[in-house]
């Protein structure tokens, strides 16, 4: 319903807020400053846009990221000029590489005085150009409203990503013109050219000619999640996902294999993928992290479908590449396969090998190493059982992401939030808060390394102030675990990866949050009962986990082998000889 518009002199700050309201933006994350206090004053009167005060603007962009990934709701990062933007740049770049839409509302310096060397005066549009889809700088108050509407539209459109609007500070108080009725605009999906009947027939024909195609799904397949099981069962295909795509295909399904299929996957997955004679990849880019450092080579012929034209053929040349939205393509492909009589019977042998492989791998992951501490596989399975299948998990750069990807069993999309292609530390805590804001009543668990917690852990204060039921599991081994593992494997020593110890309980207490100690496997059930009690009361909780990282993830093992195998023999021998010498010398 169109709101009555009785003001003819809509001021700049009012135009911003009205645009955010009309776009359905629920939260504006940031810290006010001298340049945008007029905007904050107006935001305080909005009925639908809630201001979220953060402790650091880096967290503002991570919160907006987590909000979208969990709830598909567009967040606004509201920053002051200069330092506010540079602090937020890490999260903006993460959103850019991971295709997460976001509105960056950047305040600009005054452009009506003629003065140079103003406070915070840097070229903000030049700074964000490499990590945004577009940037706008309205020069008149009446241009603000349409610029923000256009920016939000661009952010959501294929391929999605962050977009910035810089509003000069002087325009916030300038009267403009009533923008009038914004009207009804088509959704991004409605603007896409649907695949032609011939393209769909070619896809179906190649799949029908294959004896056993591999189905490989990324986050871009999420819009078609309700038809992916049907597609997999029609083809009787083993299904692998990217890390970002975890959960788009239910992982308890008999055809699910693993989040990955190459050298960074367990042997049973590699054997099954090697026996496939085609690959249908939907909504993925074959990025470095997603493929375990390009150690996953898709069985040919490769059929690659993605909404982003730049993804097609970027790393692996497809037999057939198709630019399309999965929400349109997958139903059309399913219908074409059915029309041509495709309905392959369940293959008991394939399903048995998948089930046995998953069961044996999970059993190994849940077996204590004897090193003491908390076994990751036992902890993660217990969290799922305690908090329920709807739980959203936010992980951080490093071991936490890869262990969670391998050990969690997720049956829903948008339940695994992780910094993948930019892989920025400090993501988990604020992203979990963004998810909790976007999905009230849904349990949220942050899996954050002790190094990453030192970066954005103060944001727990925001969760406490807002009584958000988020469990922050701080996985503590007193080092930068993944880097330390790489160093130990390749160099047989660790350099600059040990962390200074800190009193997590004292930090949590200072932030107004209860901290529970989890020293070993025997304490898991009791501690998780305490976590569930805190969350049920609408309170955040911190858990100090003495994690046992001595068993490497399949990802870590695979990446080391893949990269070592690429080196010339002379370099390989040099690395091995150095590691052996250091081992012998102690």
CA distance 533 to 235: 44
Q: What is the CA 527 to chain-centroid distance, rounded?
A: 28
Of 67-76, 175-184, 419-428, least confident by mean pLDDT is 175-184
Pairing of strands 470-476, 541-546: parallel
Same fold across 12-190 and 193-354: yes
Which tokens go with 62? 């991570």
- The larger pLDDT score, comparing residue 53 to residue 122, is at 53
| 440-463: pLDDT as tens digits | 999 999 999 998 999 999 999 999
pLDDT at 7: 40
pLDDT at 483: 66
- The larger pLDDT score, comparing residue 499 to residue 303, is at 303
Domain 12-190 = CATH 3.40.50.970:
yes
Domain borders along the chain are 12-190, 193-354, 368-553
Of all residues in the chain, what percent carry a pLDDT higher than 70? 89
pLDDT at 120: 62
**Residue 223 burial by CB count (10 A; 0-12/13-18/19+): exposed, middle or buried?**
buried
User: What is the fold, at CATH topology level, of the domain defined by 193-354?
Assistant: Rossmann fold (3.40.50)
| 51-84: pLDDT as tens digits | 999 999 999 999 999 999 999 999 999 999 989 9
Q: At what angle do helices 481-491 and 569-585 cross, to 10 degrees?
A: 100
CA distance 93 to 269: 32
CA distance 67 to 431: 7
Confidence grade of residue 570 (pLDDT, cut at 50, 70, 90): confident
**Upstream peptide bond of 443 is cis (omega within 30 degrees of 0):** no
DSSP state of 312: T
Residue 121 reports pLDDT greater than 90:
no
| 310-364: pLDDT as tens digits | 999 999 999 999 999 999 999 999 999 999 999 899 999 999 999 999 999 999 9
Long-range own/partner contacts, residues 341-346 (CB < 8 A, 24 or more apart): 342/204, 342/207, 342/208, 342/234, 342/235, 343/234, 344/234, 344/235, 344/236, 345/236, 346/233, 346/236, 346/254
Residue 240 reports pLDDT greater than 60:
yes
Is 34:116 a contact under the CB 8 Å cutoff?
no
CATH superfamily, region 368-553: Thiamin diphosphate (ThDP)-binding fold, Pyr/PP domains (3.40.50.970)
- The larger pLDDT score, comparing residue 238 to residue 487, is at 238
What is the overall mean pLDDT for the chain? 90
- Residue carrying the six token digits 């009205």: 18
Q: Cα torsion for 238, 244, 249, 254, to the nearest 10°?
A: 40
| 268-288: pLDDT as tens digits | 999 999 999 999 999 999 999
Pairing of strands 541-546, 444-449: unpaired
pLDDT at 563: 81
Confidence grade of residue 8 (pLDDT, cut at 50, 70, 90): very low
Pairing of strands 76-79, 27-30: parallel
Q: At what angle do helices 348-365 and 399-407 cross, to 10 degrees?
A: 140
pLDDT at 565: 84
| 181-199: pLDDT as tens digits | 454 454 554 556 688 999 9
Of all residues in the chain, what percent carry a pLDDT higher than 90? 76
Confidence grade of residue 474 (pLDDT, cut at 50, 70, 90): very high
| 252-270: pLDDT as tens digits | 999 999 999 999 999 999 9
Which tokens go with 465? 């102030």
Is 42:15 a contact under the CB 8 Å cutoff?
no
Q: What are the start-end ranges of the H helices in 366-480?
A: 376-387, 399-407, 428-438, 450-456, 460-465
Confidence grade of residue 482 (pLDDT, cut at 50, 70, 90): low
CA distance 75 to 130: 20
Is 214:49 a contact under the CB 8 Å cutoff?
no
Query: How many Cβ atoms sit within 10 Å of the Cβ of residue 297?
Result: 17
Residue 42 reports pLDDT greater than 50:
yes
CA distance 558 to 405: 15
State the maximum Cα–Cα separation within the chain, in Å, rounded to a whole number: 82
Of 299-313, 423-437, 563-577, least confident by mean pLDDT is 563-577
- Torsion region of 538: left, alpha or beta (phi above 0 gives left; psi -120 to 50 gives alpha): left
Percent of the chain as helix, strand, coil, to the nearest 5? 45, 15, 40
Confidence grade of residue 180 (pLDDT, cut at 50, 70, 90): low
Query: How many Cβ atoms sit within 10 Å of the Cβ of residue 353?
Result: 18
Alpha carbons within 13 angstroms on the beta-carbon side of residue 17 total 22
Confidence grade of residue 177 (pLDDT, cut at 50, 70, 90): low
- The larger pLDDT score, comparing residue 2 to residue 128, is at 128
Strand partners, 215: 239, 280
Give the DSSP per-residue string, 21-54.
HHHT--EEEE---TTSHHHHHHHTT-SSPEEEE-
Confidence grade of residue 172 (pLDDT, cut at 50, 70, 90): confident
CA distance 380 to 416: 13
């Amino acid at each position: 319903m169109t709101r009555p518009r009785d003001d003819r002199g809509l001021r700049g700050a009012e135009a911003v807020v009205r645009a955010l309201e009309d776009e359905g933006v629920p939260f504006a994350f940031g810290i006010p400053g001298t340049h945008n206090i007029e905007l904050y004053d107006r935001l305080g009167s909005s009925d639908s846009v809630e201001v979220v005060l953060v402790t650091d603007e880096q967290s503002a962009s991570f919160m907006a990221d987590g909000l979208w990934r969990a709830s598909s709701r567009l967040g606004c990062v509201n920053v002051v000029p200069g330092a506010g933007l540079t602090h937020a740049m890490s999260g903006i770049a993460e959103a850019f590489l991971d295709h997460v839409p976001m509105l960056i509302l950047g305040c600009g310096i005054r452009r009506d005085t003629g003065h140079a060397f103003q406070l915070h005066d840097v070229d903000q549009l030049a700074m964000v150009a490499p990590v945004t889809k577009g940037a706008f700088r309205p020069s008149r108050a009446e241009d603000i409203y349409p610029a923000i509407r256009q920016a939000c539209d661009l952010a959501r459109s294929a391929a999605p990503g962050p977009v910035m609007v810089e509003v000069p500070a002087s325009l916030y108080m300038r009267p403009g013109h009533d923008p009038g009725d914004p009207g009804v605009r088509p959704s991004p999906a409605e603007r896409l050219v649907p695949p032609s009947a011939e393209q769909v027939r070619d896809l179906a024909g190649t799949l029908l000619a294959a004896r056993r195609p591999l189905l490989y799904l990324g986050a871009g397949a999420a819009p078609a999640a309700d038809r992916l099981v049907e597609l997999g069962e029609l083809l009787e295909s083993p299904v692998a996902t990217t890390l970002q795509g975890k959960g788009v295909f239910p992982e308890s399904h008999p055809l699910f294999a693993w989040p990955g299929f190459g050298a960074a996957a367990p042997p049973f997955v590699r054997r099954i993928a090697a026996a496939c004679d085609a690959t249908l990849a939907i909504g993925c880019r074959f990025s470095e992290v997603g493929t375990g450092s390009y150690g996953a080579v898709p069985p040919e012929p490769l059929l690659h479908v993605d909404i982003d034209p730049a993804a097609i053929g970027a790393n692996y040349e497809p037999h057939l590449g198709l630019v399309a939205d999965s929400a349109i393509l997958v139903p059309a492909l399913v219908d074409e396969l059915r029309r041509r009589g495709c309905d392959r019977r369940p293959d008991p042998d394939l399903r048995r090998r998948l089930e046995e492989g998953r069961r044996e791998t999970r059993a190994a992951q849940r077996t204590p190493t004897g090193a003491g501490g908390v076994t990751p596989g036992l902890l993660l399975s217990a969290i799922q059982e305690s908090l329920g299948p709807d739980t959203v998990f936010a992980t951080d750069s490093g071991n936490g992401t890869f262990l969670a990807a391998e050990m969690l069993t997720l049956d829903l999309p948008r339940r695994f939030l992780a910094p993948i292609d930019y892989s920025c530390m400090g993501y988990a805590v604020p992203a979990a808060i963004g998810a909790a804001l976007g999905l009230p009543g849904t349990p949220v668990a942050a899996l954050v390394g002790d190094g990453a917690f030192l970066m954005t852990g103060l944001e727990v204060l925001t969760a406490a102030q807002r009584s958000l039921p988020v469990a922050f599991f701080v996985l503590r081994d007193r080092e930068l675990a993944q880097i330390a593992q790489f160093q130990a494997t390749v160099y047989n020593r660790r350099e600059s990866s040990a962390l200074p110890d800190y009193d997590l309980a004292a930090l949590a207490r200072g932030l107004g949050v209860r901290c529970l100690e989890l020293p070993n496997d025997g304490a898991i059930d009791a501690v998780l009962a305490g976590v569930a009690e805190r969350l049920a009361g609408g309170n955040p909780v911190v858990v100090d986990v003495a994690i046992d990282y001595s068993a490497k993830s399949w990802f870590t093992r695979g990446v080391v082998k893949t990269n070592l195998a690429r080196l010339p023999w002379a370099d390989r021998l040099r690395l091995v000889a150095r590691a052996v010498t250091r081992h012998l010398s102690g």
